[in-house]
Amino acid sequence: MSVLMFRRLKFTCIKGRNSFLLTEDAVMKCLQARFAASNFYLSIVITQNFYFQTNVGPILLCVNPYRNVGNPLTLNSTRGLALSQQLNKVVQEAVRQQSETGYPQAIILSGTSGSGKSHASMLLLRQLFAVAGGGPETDAFKHLAAAFTVLRSLGSAKTATNSESSRIGQFIEVQVTDGALYRTKIHCYFLDQTRVIRPLPSEKNYHIFYQMLAGLSTDERAKLNLEGYSPTNLRYLQHGDTRQDVTEDASRFQAWKTCLGVLGIPFLDVVRVLAAVLLLGNVQFIDGKGIEVDVKGDAELNAVAGLLGVSGAALFRGLTTRTHNARGQLVKSVCDANMSNMTRDCLAKALYCRTVATIVRRANSLKRLGSTLGTLSSDSNESVHNQLEVTSQHASTVGGTNAGSKSMAALNNAVRHATDGFIGILDMFGFEEPKPSQLEHLCINLCAETMQHFYNTHIFKSSIESCRDEGINCEVEVDYVDNVPCIDLISSLRTGLLSMLDGECSIRGTAEAYVAKIKVHHKHNLRLFDPKPIEPRIFGIQHFAGRVVYDATDFLDTNKDVVPDDLVAVFYKHNCNFGFATHLFGSELKALYSVENVPRGVSFRISPTSHADLLNGDEPVSTLTQDFHTRLDNLLRTLVHARPHFVRCIRSNSQEAPNRFDRSTVVRQVRSLQILETVNLMAGGYPHRMRFKAFNARYRLLAPFTRLQRTEEKVMDDCHVILQHVVDLISKEQSTAVSTSWALGKRHIFLSEGIRQQLEKLRNEKRQKSATTIQSVWRGWKSRYRWSILKREKEMHITNTQTTLSRVVAGGVTTRPRPQPIAGTPPPDPNEKCDSKIIQQTCNLFGLDLERPPPVPPSRSYTVAGNTKLGYPQTRVMKMTYPEDSSGDSTVLLKGETVLVVGASHRRGHLIVEHKHCTIHVPFQYLELKQSVNI
Ligand SMILES: Nc1ncnc2c1ncn2[C@@H]1O[C@H](COP(=O)(O)OP(=O)(O)OP(=O)(O)O)[C@@H](O)[C@H]1O
């Protein structure tokens, strides 16, 4: 019986007041209704009648309507698409939490292959750039978009369930500091190399490969010696593309070429390697009459050699001979056709994986945002966590002394802290069940299981366990399926399927022996089953999302993932004139040539993930599955330190048909994603918990100020007061059937999703209201203040006018106040020297003579009183005696004397007075107009 055979959950909830029967059917009806209404992004909100509005608290459901099938899914290709409000909300929330708490955030997309994870992740990333990264016109966005275009082209393939399935898992780490994007980094998980280079007849695979030769200019073709080849000749690419596909591919190819340029990666280098990979597919070794194997596709082999910058003979030798170390004696042997063909495939895989890894490293090493820190490392294959461990290991060996390593550790901690504030978007492999499944699919499904376990732990397990630990009695028991047994079966330390596979590889065993051993060892494990008819290399696993049958025929070779040193040595710089090819095997060549005797029967990993994969004796330290497992572990450690935001993706049908809601396909995913259980937990359990202090800090604004004690000791009482007040408020406003329950534990306060949503809603309302009040008070005050000034100015103006008028009427003259100097204008700097040349030029321009000062402007022939011009002569009265300190012989004008003003004096502020046949220059303020004005 399927573990996932579903039950109709009887759902009794909410403080015993109501009881509901929430069935899978209700969930399905809701999803279908919303799908029909084109609501593909759904956030489960628990509502009164329990027709949930698909908003599982902090969890978002996305249903893929397949309206965009075959989209290359790059940041640029999603540019024209409207962003859904719900996805936007996820990003806003992550950015908000990150900037408020500084805590890393992880948006985790999960769902089966084809459910739309990559599509949603591109939309999320675009939105993240819009919110915190300055939008799509920034350099950072353009670089990231270019990296995605290049990587998607190289790392997506048509599978049974998705015509553009991602074969590279991605964790996109966006460093955000103070709400602004700081730098981005892509961590890639590249697994399915076998699929990438295998011929897949009639599948639209690797359009880049297909178009590569067609897209080259005549010059480029000639340079690469490829004139004789057409894409249709290539065995790896024999598939039934339509004309439209080809046209579309051509434009994609051009975009790809441009993007390589944006990343600063030499296009021809990459094309040479990829063309070599393609042509290798047309090389076949067959057993001949002599000792050596024969080649079918001699010309292709030579073309590959030419592309890789090595001689045809050297490449042939590298592919068809092996060196063995027999107790210290080096022995050379000739491979048979089978082994030569395997080595050929190893070379194709190695070239392909290493090129992709180089591109990722290059994309990550760009200092996009003018960072002063630069990038921590360019190794794309390390997880965030591992990265820092690597740094610290390095630091401790370099530091030497204890103190030194301590200070380096402190530095590492500081760096770690500085890089802590990331927002990650995780788009890993979705569950797959191709027939038959290979080792890569076992890894992919282990990854899907691990993500499911992370979700289970975070949503169900931690909530249930913390309730138990703190003595909280929860009325709703959520019955979720724990997938730990399946993860244990695959990856437990000694007896897991992967460990046993490593064991089998180390003793150079066989697939049959391996399958027999696992069947014996896990005889009683219900997760491991024997598919009918029973075959010696076939076994089956009951995964959380379905049963998968695995064929172990290639398990051992795939797991070893090795390439012989005979082949690697071909690319040594003395034998190879193509630097990029030498660079691809750089660390291996360095290790190989550090000792004499090359080749000497050692092997290297085809797709190394770190430099630790170098030699240990004559074999690589790790295997493909060990590596994958370690990296998955590191990824989990990174995620555990982050605040997760879950986006659960569902495909609407399995034929990629637009707008078709296939109930059976959807229901299977609803079960495996445990959506019903999640809704139940959100509705009736306590899925959220907060420390008392944190709760108080966030929500105390909701309770009346005077009722709170605000002390450390009374923090629990305050929580109680706040919640009681909120519950009273809610019940007054509406009679709700939704659970608004909460409970006080020992260290935490436990909240149902209902009360959390209410608390958040009220908090938002309150803050909104407070903001409005603050704004209105401020605006009111400002207006009143301005009004009082305006009023005073108006009154002054009226008074001034009245005074002037009354003075004019009374025959007096008002003086205008002198204009005040403009505040803040600095006085001229006495030391400031003018450039004499500029002065001369300016004088010439205006026709001025520097030697002769300009004439004094003619004095005005009138004075102004009020608005009236008064011409000369004027009869004025002396206000004061002038000059006040007369020496006796000069003419003195006495106060009250009437005098005749004949004009303005050339002396500033003086008038010319004629009195008793004398002309006297009298300051303006000593004179007052007489009532009878001369005009
Ligand atoms: N919301 C959507 N609207 C329109 N089309 C979509 C949507 N989501 C996904 N698609 C389309 O559905 C197809 C599958 O989506 P996608 O490749 O994102 O799935 P996936 O879950 O990432 O699959 P895999 O795990 O195999 O990589 C793509 O062609 C994509 O363009």
Measured by CA distance, the residue closest to atom 1 of ligand 1 is 64
Has residue 902 been placed in a domain? Answer: yes
**Distance in Å, CA 639 to ligand 1 centroid:** 24
Q: What number does the ligand 1 atom closest to the CA of 62 have?
A: 1
Average pLDDT value for residue range 510-528: 91
How many residues belong to the chain? 935
Ligand 1 atom closest to residue 159's alpha carbon, by position in its atom list: 26
Residue 910 belongs to domain with CATH number: 2.30.30.40
- Whether 900 is covered by a domain: the verdict is yes
How large is the average pLDDT for residues 184-188? 83
Q: How many whole angstroms from 41 Cα to the centroid of ligand 1? A: 13
Tokens representing residue 274 in the block: 């990829």
- What local confidence, expressed as pLDDT, does residue 881 receive? 87
Can you tell me the distance from the alpha carbon of 874 to that of 864, in angstroms, rounded to the nearest whole number? 12
Query: How many other CB atoms are there within 10 angstroms of residue 932's CB atom?
Result: 7
At residue 499, the pLDDT reads 92
Asked, for residue 870, whether it belongs to a domain, the answer is yes
Summarize pLDDT for 101-146 with one digit per residue, the tens.
888 899 999 998 888 898 888 888 888 888 877 777 777 788 888 8
430 CA: nearest ligand 1 atom? 25
Name the residue at shortest CA distance from atom 7 of ligand 1: 64
pLDDT tens-place string over residues 382-394: 333 333 333 333 3
Mutate to test the pocket of ligand 1, among 162, 165, 207, 427 (most ligand atoms within 8 A of CB): 162
**929 in a domain, yes or no?**
yes
Is 246 exposed, middle or buried, given 0-12, 13-18 or 19+ CB atoms closer than 10 A?
A: middle
Of the pLDDT bands very low, low, confident and very high (cuts 50, 70, 90), residue 213 is low
Task: Write the residue with the smallest CA distance to atom 28 of ligand 1.
Answer: 69
The answer to whether 475 and 13 have CB atoms below 8 angstroms apart is yes
Nearest protein CA to atom 14 of ligand 1, as residue: 114
Distance 116 CA to ligand 1 centre (A): 3
Rounded to the nearest angstrom, the distance between the alpha carbon of 115 and the centre of ligand 1 is: 6
CA of 887 to the centre of ligand 1 (A): 106
Q: Which domain holds residue 918?
A: 862-883+891-935
* Gap from CA of 205 to ligand 1 centroid (Å): 16
Q: Pocket of ligand 1, candidates 61, 66, 433: which has the most ligand atoms within 8 Å of its Cβ, to mutate?
A: 66
User: What residues form DSSP beta bridges with 893?
Assistant: 882
Q: Which atom of ligand 1 lies nearest, measured to the CA of 119?
A: 18
> Is residue 400's pLDDT more than 60?
no
594 burial class (0-12, 13-18, 19+ CB within 10 angstroms)? exposed
Q: Which one of 637-646, 740-749, 886-895 scores highest in mean pLDDT?
A: 637-646
Q: Cα angle vertex 225, ends 222, 229, to 5°? A: 100
DSSP 14-38: TTTTEEE---HHHHHHHHHHHHHTT
Task: Point out the ligand 1 atom lying closest to the alpha carbon of residue 167.
Answer: 27
Contacts by residues 252-256 (CB-CB < 8 Å, ≥ 24 positions apart)? 252/72, 252/153, 252/207, 252/208, 252/211, 253/207, 253/208, 253/211, 253/212, 253/214, 253/215, 254/215, 255/76, 255/149, 256/149, 256/150, 256/153, 256/208
Q: What is the pLDDT of residue 203?
A: 32
Atom nearest to 121 CA in ligand 1: 18
Judge contact between 697 and 139, C-beta under 8 A: no
How far apart, in whole angstroms, are the C-alpha atoms of residue 315 and residue 576? 10
Structural domain contains residue 192: no
* Residue 546 falls inside a structural domain: no
pLDDT category, 233, cuts 50, 70, 90?
very low
The answer to whether the CB of 541 falls within 8 A of the CB of 528 is yes
Please, are residues 528 and 280 in contact by the beta-carbon 8 Å criterion? no
Please list, residue by residue across 1-36, b when 16 or more beta carbons sit within 10 angstroms of its beta carbon and e when fewer do.
Answer: eeebeeeebebebbeeeeebebbbebbbebbeebbe
**H/E element, 257:** helix 243-263
Predicted confidence at residue 16, as pLDDT, reads 38
Q: Do 308 and 571 contact (CB within 8 A), yes or no?
A: yes
- What separation in Å is there between the alpha carbon of 507 and the centre of ligand 1? 42
From 118, 189, 647, 652, the mutation candidate for ligand 1 (largest count of ligand atoms within 8 A of CB) is 118
347 exposure class (CB count in 10 Å sphere: 0-12, 13-18, 19+):
buried
Which residue's CA is the nearest one to ligand 1's atom 9?
116
Mean pLDDT calculated for residue range 603-615:
70
Q: What are the tens digits of pLDDT across the range 694-752?
A: 888 888 888 888 878 777 778 888 888 888 888 887 776 665 555 677 888 888 888 88
63 C-alpha to ligand 1 centroid (Å): 10
**Residue 548's beta-bridge partner residues?**
541
The HSE-up count of residue 876 (CA atoms within 13 Å, CB side) is 30
What is the DSSP secondary-structure string of 767-818? HHHHHHHHHHHHHHHHHHHHHHHHHHHHHHHHHHHHHHHHHHHHT--PPPPP
337 DSSP 8-state letter: H
Residue 66 CA, closest ligand 1 atom number = 5
Task: Determine the distance separating the centroid of ligand 1 and the alpha carbon of 435, expressed in angstroms.
Answer: 21
Which residue puts its alpha carbon closest to atom 13 of ligand 1? Answer: 69
Q: What is the reported pLDDT for 359?
A: 87
CB of 168 closer than 8 Å to CB of 188: yes
Q: How confident is the model at residue 518 (pLDDT cuts 50, 70, 90)?
A: very high
Nearest-10 crossing angle of helices 663-672, 24-36? 120
Q: What is the secondary structure of 899-924 as a DSSP string?
A: EEEEEE-SSTTEEEEEETTEEEEEEG
Query: Quick one: average pLDDT of 308-325?
Result: 91
Of 913, 909, 908, 910, residue with least CA distance to 873:
913
Q: What are the E-state strand segments in 811-905?
A: 862-865, 868-871, 874-878, 898-904
Q: How close is the Cα of 245 to the center of ligand 1, in Å?
A: 18
Which letter does DSSP use for residue 529 in this model? E
The whole-number pLDDT of residue 486 equals 93
Distance 368 CA to ligand 1 centre (A): 29
Gap between the terminal Cα atoms of the chain: 119
d(CA 536, CA 511): 8
Percent of the chain with pLDDT over 90: 14
**Considering only CA atoms, which residue is closest to atom 25 of ligand 1?**
113
Asked, for residue 871, whether it belongs to a domain, the answer is: yes
The mean pLDDT value for 837-851 works out to 72
Give the Cα separation of 392 and 411 in Å (integer). Answer: 9
pLDDT at 487 over 90: yes
Other residues' Cβ atoms within 10 Å of the Cβ of residue 189: 24
Is the pLDDT at 606 greater than 50? The verdict is: yes
Q: 647 CA to middle of ligand 1, Å?
A: 14
**C-alpha span between 365 and 356 (Å, rounded):** 14
Question: Token pair for residue 23?
Answer: 């069935």
| Coil vs helix vs strand at 234 | coil
56: three-class secondary structure by DSSP: strand
Pocket test for ligand 1, best of 42, 61, 64 (most atoms within 8 A of CB): 64
Evaluate the CA torsion angle 918, 919, 923, 927 in order and state its sign. positive
pTM summary value: 0.71
Q: Nearest C-alpha to atom 16 of ligand 1 is from which residue?
A: 116
pLDDT number for residue 842: 74
The pLDDT of residue 225 is 62
* CA of 161, closest atom in ligand 1: 26
Q: Under 8 Å CB-to-CB from 173, ≥6 apart: which residues? A: 184, 185, 186, 187, 384, 422, 423, 424
Q: Is the Cβ–Cβ distance between 899 and 927 less than 8 Å?
A: yes
Residues touching ligand 1 (Cβ under 6 Å) are: 40, 64-71, 73, 111, 113-119, 162, 164-166, 429-430, 649
Q: Is 835 helix (H, G, I), strand (E, B) or coil?
A: coil
Q: Is the pLDDT of residue 640 over 90?
A: no
Does ipTM top 0.90? yes
Q: pLDDT tier at 340 (50, 70, 90 boundaries)? A: very high
Ligand 1 centroid from CA 119, angstroms: 5
Judge whether 713 lies within some domain. Answer: no
pLDDT tens-digit series, residues 780-794: 999 998 988 888 888
Whole-Å CA distances, 189 to 153, 495, 500, 781: 15, 25, 23, 60
The Å distance, Cα 43 to ligand 1 centre, comes to: 19
| Residue 158 CA to ligand 1 centre (angstroms) | 12
d(CA 719, CA 710): 10
Q: How many domains in the chain?
A: 1
* Residue 846: Cβ within 10 Å count: 7
